[in-house]
Amino acid sequence: MPGKTKVLKKPNRSLAEQAYLLEIAKGLGTTLKHFWQGTSQMVSGNTPDAVKDPWADGIATISYPDEKRPYAERWRGVHRLTHRDDGSPRCVACLCCSTACPAQCIYIKPAEYAEGDARHGYERYPELFVIDELRCIFCGFCVEACPCDAIRMDTGTHMTAYDVKSDFIYDKAKLMSMVSQHGTQKSENPRHEPGDPTHPGVDRLHGGH
């Protein structure tokens, strides 16, 4: 039993198109137009700003390391640890991010603040905060998971290529040194320190719930 056959329509080409020569001339016309446009732009130095106007006629590429296209505001780049006002990390070592991480690239060693510290009993701090950027898949789950807005991926820089594998292991100091696209190391979200009037005053050691 014959199967279904699909009959393809023959392209309806005119004799002039079949002869090919005229079409070659047309194609050459198009490429020559672009050649002339590009050459005159390069010679006169009037190349369109491909960064600002990517759809302009003429030269459409940029000299990458010299010129860069801006990344979108929410583009996920290399992580950074946000700072508090006093320069310590906002991170409270709750391990939410390392738990959420599908690539298991975050390692945190939590530690207690010393006795007498205002934060003692309320929160912990990361003694070690290590991200293996080679393992990271840049999904942004850690940022979503963080309850304290302590980890962000708004640096606007992508992963650099290093020669040595150990250079890809970002420790706490390195992560703290990263700066956001807008040049800040902090976060715009408010932070309520223990002792502040806005702080709920509930702590882990003394209960209160």
Partner 1 sequence: MLLFWISAIVKIALIVGTLVNMAAILLWVERKQSAMMQNRIGPNRATIKIGSLEIRAAGLVHSIADGIKMIWKEDWEPVGVDKFLYRLAPIAALVPPLCLFAVIPFGPTLYPDHARDLYDASWAQDAMRAVPMQITNLNVGVLYIFAVAGAGVIGAALAGWASNNKFSLMGGLRAASQMVSYEVAMGLSLVGSMMVYQTVRLDEMVTWQTQHCWGIFTQPLAFVLFTTAAIAETKRVPFDVPEGESELVAGYFTEYAGLKFGMFASGELVEVCTSSALLVTIFLGGWQLPFVQLTGFEFHALGIDLSWHWAHFIVVIVGVLTFVLKCAGLIFMQLQIRWTLPRFRYDQIMKLGWRMLLPAALVNVLATGMVLLFLNGGAHS
To the nearest whole angstrom, how small is the minimum distance from the Cβ of residue 36 to partner 1? 8
Is 159 one of the binding residues for partner 1 (CB under 8 A)?
Answer: no
Report the b/e string of 9-39 with b at 16+ CB within 10 A.
Answer: eeeeeeeeeeeeeeeeeeeeeeeeeeeeeee
To the nearest whole angstrom, how small is the minimum distance from the Cβ of residue 132 to partner 1? 33
Question: Are the C-beta atoms of residues 41 and 58 closer than 8 Å to each other?
Answer: yes
Q: Which of residues 38-97 bind partner 1 (CB under 8 A)?
A: 38-39, 42, 47, 58-63
Amino acid at 168: F
Residue closer to partner 1 by CB (options 39, 184) is 39
Q: Look at residue 144 and give its three-state secondary structure.
A: helix
Residues in contact with 84: Cβ distance below 8 Å, sequence separation at least 6, in sequence order: 90, 186, 191, 193
Distance between CA atoms of 110 and 103, rounded to whole angstroms? 20
To the nearest whole angstrom, how small is the minimum distance from the Cβ of residue 18 to partner 1? 11
Stretch that binds partner 1, among 21-29, 129-137, 145-153, 173-181 (CB under 8 A): 21-29
Stretch that binds partner 1, among 32-40, 79-87, 96-104, 133-141 (CB under 8 A): 32-40
Is 21 one of the binding residues for partner 1 (CB under 8 A)?
Answer: yes
> What is the binding site for partner 1 (CB under 8 A)?
21, 24, 27-28, 30-32, 34-35, 38-39, 42, 47, 58-63
